[in-house]
Amino acid sequence: MSDGFEVNIDRDTHEHDKTYENEQSMVTIPLKEYDKLKEQKNYITDPGLIAVIDKLEELTRALRRHIVRKF
């Protein structure tokens, strides 16, 4: 089928592109390391966030001194 246009496929580029089709982004780590990482998700470890929580705790303690409960 020739309608005056010639299709020019750069086979080298096409073959090169195909080499990336089956790549996977997986990392393999030991099960013990995985369990350790999974356990860490339950804790706050960010230093900035810890500083904010500490400040909130300090302010809460200061406010509690001014609470008078009358029943």
Angle at 36 between CA 32 and CA 39, to 5 degrees: 135
Chain mean position to CA 52: 22
Measure Cα distances from 23 to 2, 14, 28 in Å.
Answer: 37, 16, 15
Q: Where are the domains of the chain?
A: 11-64
pLDDT (0 to 100) of residue 57: 96
Spatial separation of the C-alpha atoms in residues 41 and 38, rounded to whole Å? 6
What's the pLDDT tens digit per position in 14-66? 676 666 666 667 778 899 999 998 998 899 999 999 999 999 999 999 999 99
- State whether residue 29 is helix, strand or coil: coil
